[in-house]
Structure 1
Amino acid sequence: MTSNTAVPDTGTADPETGEVAARTEEITKVYGTGDARVVALDAVSLTIPRGRFTGIMGPSGSGKSTLMHCLAGLDVVDSGRILIGDQDVTRLNDKQLTALRRDRVGFIFQSFNLIPTLTALENIVLPLRIAGRHPDQQWLDKVVDTVGLRDRLHHRPTQLSGGQQQRVACARALVSKPDVIFADEPTGNLDSRSGAEVLAFLRDSARTTGQTIVMVTHDPVAAGYTDNVVFLADGRVVDRMVDPTADRVLDRMKRLEHAPAGGEELAR
């Protein structure tokens, strides 16, 4: 049994390799002061196993988006430590954070964020071009074949379906070989069929390329594609699930949403 309070961090590493892609140590994030004070993250300790697809779920206001933003170096914590590999993100200055986001972290957003005047291929390699780097052609070919867009590389975003555009965004995140890819509701703007294609791609990318992917989602079906799910409530990690299914995740979310703050126990 688990309760709606912080639980020990049992997901310490990839069970096969023992490697950790990222971790947090007692991180706290507070917004506002006085009566407007909100504790978004409350002493969260968490590990992200390397080469796995991890989902982060929780009721509205649970802190899941804040956790992802802090992990990715998009927001700063008030206390505690965040590490990407062996690099302490909380000690980096603005210039170093920019380099971290460019070189070690990938992003997939709900809104695709593609440049409309560029082709699919040009969008995929754009971050590398901006960084003054040339793509590894062998890896680029593998990524392109993995997303299944070989015959659409010279099409612009308006000539692609929503699912194809999101697969371009996924390829763009993968091509620089980041330590971790963070996906924020990546299927939120897609129909169910396109969403399933993107989720299957993310799952297969973790399994075939060893890519570490962390996805924030509110959708139990999406969470069912992951290797493990972390559940947040009131800014704390309150539960975990390995090899989730949509039905099990939905049941767990119902219990979280109806649990009083501080309390009701959740059945595994």
Structure 2
Amino acid sequence: MTTTFTGAPAAATAHTGVAAARATDLSKVYGQGETKVVALDSVSVEFRQAQFTAIMGPSGSGKSTLMHCMAGLDSVTSGSARIGDTELTTLKDKKLTRLRRDRVGFIFQAFNLLPTLNAMENITLPMDIAGTRPDRQWLDRVVDTVGLADRLKHRPNQLSGGQQQRVAVARALASKPEIIFGDEPTGNLDSRSGAEVLGFLRNSVRELGRTVVMVTHDPVAAAYADRVVFLADGRIVDDITGPTADSVLDRMKSLDPRA
């Protein structure tokens, strides 16, 4: 079932034109012989700095696989995946882990908060594990942007679903990552909470200069982005800027009659 969100779609955001991440002839193949599945088929795309990009496509189109490969969460079969100027496909496990920790933020459909920690402790947990100190001024700005200043001492079970996902958004932003990847980040939220989280992601781009790439199935969620990339059968088939819910829905219907 598709969840719809209220709220005005995003206007185009000014950006630098510099790629925060780039795929070149990227392919991902699972299995071989009769069980071979080509999840990504020579995909080339870039995600520009200080821009909010949504990735959409029918089920099985490769959208989550693309995000996982670009984020260093999954290996690639061939081609290139870069974060900034760093080629991910040549990194050893330890350096890849360090890159994901220091340069990439993640927001998932499941909030992935530790129930024994309060909101602030969950936000700073990745930095605590890494042994790094947060930039207090930046952290305060992030907390203010996501509207959590009065909930920082609350544990997850004392927060609504929308508030828990805002904690996850703040956690992804707290270490000043070069790029933030979201995999259906509003999938477990009601309409109102989903709209709040999407607004915070949009504000993180506009007000904090972050780069956000989000996989979503929902045309209204995609309309919060500056740009939508469409996949079908492991290939990019369209790319639109200044999306509206209607324009995204029309394009999705052309890709998948069941949409």
TM-score for the superposition, normalised by structure 1: 0.90
2:69 maps to 70
1:11 maps to none
Which whole-Å deviations, capped at 9, do the CAs of 1:143-199 have from their partners, x for residues lacking one? 010010100000000000000000000000000011110000000000000000000
Map 1:96-135 to 2 at 5 A.
Answer: 96-135=95-134
1:189 maps to 188
How far did 1:231 drift? 0.1
How far did 1:18 drift? 2.3
| Residue aligned with 2:256, SS | helix
CA distance in 2, matches of 1:31, 1:127: 31
CA distance in 2, matches of 1:162, 1:95: 34
2:217 maps to 218
How far did 1:17 drift? 1.9
1:9 maps to none
2:147 maps to 148
CA distance in 1, matches of 2:249, 2:44: 24
CA distance in 2, matches of 1:33, 1:76: 16
2:36 maps to 37
Letter in 2 for 1:136: D
How far did 1:258 drift? 3.4
Map 1:1-268 to 2 at 5 A.
Answer: 16-258=15-257
Letter in 1 for 2:200: F
| Residue aligned with 2:58, SS | coil
Which whole-Å deviations, capped at 9, do the CAs of 1:195-223 have from their partners, x for residues lacking one? 00000110111011110000000011100
CA distance in 1, matches of 2:75, 2:16: 30
| Residue aligned with 1:209, SS | coil
2:10 maps to none
CA distance in 2, matches of 1:26, 1:174: 29
Letter in 1 for 2:163: Q
CA distance in 2, matches of 1:254, 1:121: 42
2:4 maps to none
CA distance in 1, matches of 2:15, 2:30: 38
Contact 2:134 2:175 in 1 (8 A): yes
Contact 2:227 2:241 in 1 (8 A): yes
1:6 maps to none
CA distance in 1, matches of 2:230, 2:214: 12
- RMSD (Å), alpha carbons: 1.1
Q: How many residues align?
A: 246
Contact 2:161 2:189 in 1 (8 A): yes
| Residue aligned with 1:47, SS | strand
Structure 1 gap ranges (5+): 1-13, 260-268
Structure 2 gap ranges (5+): 1-12
Contact 2:21 2:81 in 1 (8 A): yes
The percent of aligned pairs where both chains have the same amino acid is 70
2:9 maps to none
CA distance in 1, matches of 2:204, 2:93: 31
Which whole-Å deviations, capped at 9, do the CAs of 1:79-118 have from their partners, x for residues lacking one? 1011100000111011111001100110001110000000
